[in-house]
C-alpha cells in the first residue's frame, strides 16, 4: 500500500493544487467582474448620494440654478423711481402727467364716426383716456359726450370752434370762448368736471394759459406727438408713440378732424404695446384750482 500510495499522493496533491488555483482564479475573476458592474450602475461608489435626510431634496438637488433676475422697478406706488423733471410746455402749460402714468389724449371730437370706434378700442384694452372736445361738436353730439364720460374718460375743453388764433384775442373774448365750450360739455354731461384746456394748434399765449387757469383749468400741452392728423402711415404713428413713450408722458392723438382710420389702426398697436410697459390713465379731474379772487391771471396778488 505504501509503495503504491506515494505517487498517488503526489497526484492528488497536484490535482488539489490545480483545483485550488482554478477556484482562486475563477473566484477572483467573478469578484472583479461583480465589483465592476456595481461601479457602472453607480452602486459601487455611493459617495455622491445624500448623506443626510436634509440633502434628499429630489432629483434636481445637484442642479446649479441661475440666480433670479432683479425685479423691475415699480412704475407706480411709493417705491417708484423719480420722474424726469417737468420742464414745462409753452407759457407754463403741462407736458407730463406729474405721475408715472401715461395719459393718452384725443383731440377734435366728438366725431360720430371715429369717437365710438376709439371708445370701443379703449374698452377692449381696459384703458381710460382724456378727450379734448370742440364745444360746437359737443353741442351737436351730446350723446357722444355722455358716452365718453360713462366710460370713465376725462373731458378737456378744446375751445368752442377750434380757433387756432384764440391766443391773439383779448381776455374777454378768450374767456367767453372757453366758457361757451365748457357749457356745451357740461350741458351734455352735467356730472362732468372740466379741468383741462388745450389750445387748438398748440398756439398758446400767456392770455390763453392764464384764462384757462382762471376758469379752473390746467393748460394741457403734450410730450409725444405722432402727427397723426398728417395722415402718415399707421405704422409710423404707432412707432412714434411707442418709441417716445416714457413715464408721465402726455400723448397727443385725434378722434376727429378728418379720416382717423390710420389713427385707429395705430391705436391698436399703441395700446397693445404700452399696456405691457406702463400704466395708462386718464388725467385726474381737478389738477388746477380756480384763481382766487384778488389775484391776477398769473396768481400775483393785487392786480
Gap between the Cα atoms of 156 and 172, Å rounded: 20
Contact status: 163 vs Zn ion (CB under 5 A): no
- DSSP structure class, residue 110: -
Closest CB to Zn ion among residues 75, 132? 132
Q: What mask, x for binding Zn ion by CB under 5 A, covers residues 51 to 90?
A: ----------------------------------------
At its nearest, how many Å lie between Zn ion and the CB of residue 107? 4
Let me know if 153 is a catalytic residue: no
Nearest approach, Cβ of 221 to Zn ion (angstroms)? 12
254: cell is 385725434
CB closer to Zn ion out of 93 and 247: 93
CA distance 294 to 65: 68
DSSP state of 73: P
**Residue 198 CB, nearest distance to Zn ion (Å)?**
7
Least separation in angstroms between CB 168 and Zn ion: 17
Which positions from 95 through 114 interact with Zn ion, judged by CB under 5 A? 107-108
Cβ at position 191, least distance to Zn ion in Å: 25
The active-site residue out of 108, 163, 254, 255 is 254
Identify whether 163 is a catalytic site residue.
no
Specify whether the CB–CB gap between 55 and 47 falls below 8 A. Answer: no
Nearer of residues 229 and 278 to Zn ion, judged by Cβ: 229
CA–CA separation, 264 and 191 (whole Å)? 28
CA 77 to chain centre: 14
Query: Which residue's beta carbon is nearest to the bound Zn ion?
Result: 107
Residues 225/70, Cβ–Cβ less than 8 Å: no
Tell me if 200 contacts Zn ion by CB under 5 A. Answer: yes
Q: Are 133 and 182 in contact (CB under 8 A)?
A: no
Closest CA to 181 of 197, 165, 168: 197
Residues with Cβ within 8 Å of residue 134, at least 6 apart in sequence: 108, 109, 158, 159, 160, 161, 162, 181, 256
Residue 153 region, left (φ>0) first, then alpha (ψ -120 to 50), else beta? beta
Minimum CB separation of residue 116 from Zn ion in Å reads 19
What are the beta bridge partners of residue 301? 295
Q: Please, which residue, 210 or 220, has the CB nearer to Zn ion?
A: 220
Distance CA 292, CA 303 (A): 12
Gap between the Cα atoms of 108 and 259, Å rounded: 12
Closer Cβ to Zn ion, 255 or 278, answer by number: 255
Burial label, 222 (beta-carbon count in 10 A; 0-12, 13-18, 19+): buried
Binding site for Zn ion (CB under 5 A): 107-108, 200
Where in the sequence numbering do the catalytic residues fall? 107, 254
Amino acid at each position: 500500500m505504501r509503495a503504491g500510495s506515494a505517487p498517488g499522493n503526489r497526484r492528488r496533491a497536484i490535482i488539489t493544487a490545480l483545483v485550488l488555483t482554478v477556484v482562486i482564479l475563477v473566484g477572483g475573476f467573478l469578484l472583479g467582474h461583480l465589483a465592476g458592474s456595481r461601479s457602472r450602475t453607480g452602486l459601487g461608489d455611493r459617495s455622491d448620494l445624500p448623506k443626510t435626510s436634509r440633502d434628499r431634496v429630489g432629483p434636481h438637488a445637484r442642479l446649479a440654478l441661475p440666480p433670479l433676475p432683479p425685479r423691475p422697478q415699480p412704475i407706480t406706488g411709493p417705491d417708484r423711481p423719480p420722474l424726469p423733471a417737468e420742464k414745462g410746455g409753452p407759457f407754463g402749460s403741462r407736458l407730463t402727467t406729474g405721475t408715472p402714468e401715461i395719459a393718452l389724449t384725443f383731440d377734435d371730437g366728438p366725431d360720430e364716426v371715429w369717437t365710438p370706434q376709439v371708445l370701443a378700442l379703449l374698452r377692449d384694452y381696459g384703458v381710460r383716456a382724456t378727450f379734448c372736445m370742440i364745444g360746437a361738436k359737443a353741442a351737436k353730439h351730446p350723446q357722444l359726450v355722455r358716452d365718453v364720460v360713462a366710460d370713465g374718460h376725462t373731458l378737456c375743453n378744446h375751445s368752442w370752434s377750434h380757433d387756432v388764433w384764440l391766443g391773439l384775442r383779448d381776455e374777454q373774448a378768450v374767456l367767453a370762448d372757453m366758457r361757451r365750450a365748457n357749457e356745451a360739455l357740461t350741458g351734455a354731461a352735467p356730472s362732468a368736471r372740466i379741468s383741462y384746456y388745450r389750445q387748438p394748434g398748440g398756439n398758446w399765449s400767456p392770455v390763453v394759459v392764464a384764462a384757462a387757469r382762471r376758469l379752473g383749468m390746467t393748460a394741457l400741452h403734450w410730450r409725444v406727438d405722432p402727427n397723426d392728423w398728417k395722415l402718415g402711415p399707421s405704422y409710423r404713428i404707432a412707432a412714434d408713440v411707442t418709441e417716445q413713450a416714457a413715464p408721465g408722458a402726455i400723448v397727443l392723438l385725434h378722434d376727429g378732424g378728418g379720416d382717423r382710420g390710420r389713427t385707429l389702426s395705430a391705436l391698436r398697436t399703441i395700446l397693445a404695446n404700452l399696456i405691457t410697459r406702463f400704466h395708462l390713465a386718464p388725467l385726474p379731474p381737478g389738477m388746477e384750482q380756480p384763481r382766487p379772487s384778488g389775484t391776477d391771471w398769473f396768481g400775483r396778488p393785487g392786480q
